[in-house]
């Protein structure tokens, strides 16, 4: 069973649809027992990091997500919430990845924030990217980013290099939106769902 964490994130339905297109039948739930017993858990996220953390804490989901032992995939803000701290709302996050989330600081006016659109991923080192060519385009929408760190498994360049994806133990995460990245995104989702 594949579970998508139900909380106040904006892209849950899109993630659900992408899984369905791949032939999987996920459930959307905030039920602790179901989350713990799922084979795979997807932790989506669009919106404000602080608001999301507050909601997760109120629901007790912060402890649950942190303690999951099956493969977990964080997406976008979901990835940021798995880090130690986010500059967005100056909030402590779940602390799975040993990295902090910081705002894009454009070095010149040609860099617009949010970064919105398709950018390439490179230096791919994870089964998450099986059959995904280097320099494939994926879809991004974000104003905050995770610097390159020990857990980085893919990088993207926008005002400098940052973590396109992270992996540590059973936790995987992408800053981009695989559910919106055409066939490349579907390959990445499929790789996760068949880990």
Partner 1 sequence: MLAKRIIPCLDVKDGKTVKGVQFVNFRDAGDPVALGKQYSELGADELVYLDITASFEGRKTFTELVKRIAAEVSIPFTVGGGIHELSDVERLLAAGADKVSVNSSAIRRPELITEIATRFGVQECVCAIDARCEEDGTWRCYLNGGRVPTERTLFEWAHEAQERGAGEILFTSMNHDGSKQGFAIEALRRLHEELSIPIIASGGAGTKEHFLDVFQQAHVDAALAASVFHFGEIPMAELKKYLADNGIVVRQTSSKQA
Could you list the active site residues?
Answer: 76, 177, 179
Residue nearer to partner 1 on the CB measure, 24 or 118: 118
Residue nearer to partner 1 on the CB measure, 94 or 132: 132
Fill in the per-residue mask, 128 to 147: x = in contact with partner 1 (CB under 8 A), - = not in contact: --------xx-xxxxx----
Q: Per rule CB under 8 A, is residue 13 in the interface with partner 1?
A: yes
| CB of residue 32 to partner 1, shortest distance in Å | 24
Residue nearer to partner 1 on the CB measure, 141 or 195: 141
Fill in the per-residue mask, 85 to 124: x = in contact with partner 1 (CB under 8 A), - = not in contact: ---------------------x--xx-xxxxxxxxx----
Q: Per rule CB under 8 A, is residue 18 in the interface with partner 1?
A: yes
Instruction: Kindly state the number of chain residues that form the binding site for partner 1, as judged by CB under 8 A.
Output: 41
Degrees (nearest 5) of the Cα angle 170, 7, 119?
Answer: 65
- Give residues in contact with partner 1 (CB under 8 A): 10-11, 13-14, 17-18, 20-21, 46-48, 106, 109-110, 112-120, 136-137, 139-143, 157-158, 177, 179-186
């Amino acid at each position: 069973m594949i579970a998508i964490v139900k909380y106040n994130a904006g892209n849950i339905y899109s993630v659900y649809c992408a899984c369905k297109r791949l032939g999987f039948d996920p459930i959307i739930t905030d039920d602790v027992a179901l989350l713990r017993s799922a084979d795979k858990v997807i932790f989506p996220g669009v919106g404000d990091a602080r608001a999301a953390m507050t909601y997760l804490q109120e629901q007790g989901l912060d402890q649950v997500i942190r303690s999951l032992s099956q493969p977990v995939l964080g997406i976008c803000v979901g990835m940021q919430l798995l880090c130690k701290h986010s500059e967005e709302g100056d909030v402590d996050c779940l602390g799975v990845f040993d990295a902090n989330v910081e705002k894009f600081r454009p070095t010149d006016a040609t860099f617009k924030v949010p970064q919105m659109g398709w950018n390439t991923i490179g230096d791919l080192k994870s089964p998450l990217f099986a059959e995904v060519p280097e320099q494939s385009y994926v879809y991004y929408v974000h104003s905050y980013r995770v610097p390159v760190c020990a857990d980085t498994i893919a990088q993207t360049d926008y005002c400098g290099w940052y973590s396109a994806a992270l992996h540590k133990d059973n936790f995987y995460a992408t800053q981009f939106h695989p559910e919106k990245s055409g066939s490349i995104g579907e390959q990445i989702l499929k790789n996760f769902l068949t880990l």
